[in-house]
Each structure stands twice: as structure tokens, then as C-alpha cells.
A = this chain, B = another copy of it.
Amino acid sequence: MSDLDATFAALSDGTRRAILARLRDGEMRLSDLAEPFEMSQTAVSKHVRVLSDAGLVAVEKRGRTRHCRLNASAMQAASHWLEDYREIWIASFENLGSYFAGKRNPDSGEQS
């Protein structure tokens, strides 16, 4: 599995995205991280494992607790891949803008 495969696959689950969102506020123990989710801690632990394997979070063992923090650099690769398509979706919005502009005023293609 390529790195991008793993990254996008890890991001394709809502629970895992919620875990990442929680970690934006800073490092958190696995048990605290799992607290709001309506599933077993084992399940959350598995999700964290997936995120860790994808390089999206770093887990550090400290005594009997595991401390998780974001490792956003893997996201950058995913973001970079998407970036290559940015001009295409911008173009499609411009076309849409021209379309609506044309309905109002055939000379104008501008948008706010």
C-alpha cells in the first residue's frame, strides 16, 4: 500500500477524522481521547493504530499511558496531491461563474 493509499484510507473514516480534530488542541492520552466516542476503548485504540501506521499521529508510551499527538506532515502529502487538481476545480467554478454572469449580463464573467 502506498503512503497515499494509507493516508487517504485513514482519513476516510469519520471516527478517525474526529480523533485528529480532537488532537488539534494538543497531545492527549489514549483513554481521554477515547472518552467521547460511543465504542469500546479497544476500537478507538485500533483507529489510533491505523492513524499511527499512516503516519498521521505519533504515539508515545509513557509509563502505562499512551500519549497521542498529531503528526500532520503525512497530511501534507495528501494535500499536495489534491493541490494538483486545484486549477481544474477553480476553472470549473469560473465556468459556472461565467454561466451565471452570462444569464445576468453577457459581457461580464466576474464574480465576487
Selected interface stretch from A27-35, A37-45, A68-76, A104-112:
A68-76
Query: Which of these, B5, B72, B89, contacts A89 with CB under 8 Å?
Result: B72
Whether B72 and A92, one on each chain, are in contact in the complex, defined by CB atoms closer than 8 angstroms, is yes
Q: Report copies per complex.
A: 2
Residue among A7, A12, A14, A73 having the largest count of chain B Cβ atoms under 10 Å: A12
Scan residues 1-31 of chain A and give those whose CB is less than 8 A from a CB of chain B: 2, 4-9, 11-14, 17, 20, 24
Interface of A is mostly: helix
Residues of A within 8 Å of B, CB-based: how many?
A: 32
Contacts of A89 in B (CB 8 A): 72-73, 75-76
A residues with CB within 8 A of B: 2, 4-9, 11-14, 17, 20, 24, 70-73, 75-76, 78-79, 81-86, 88-89, 92-93
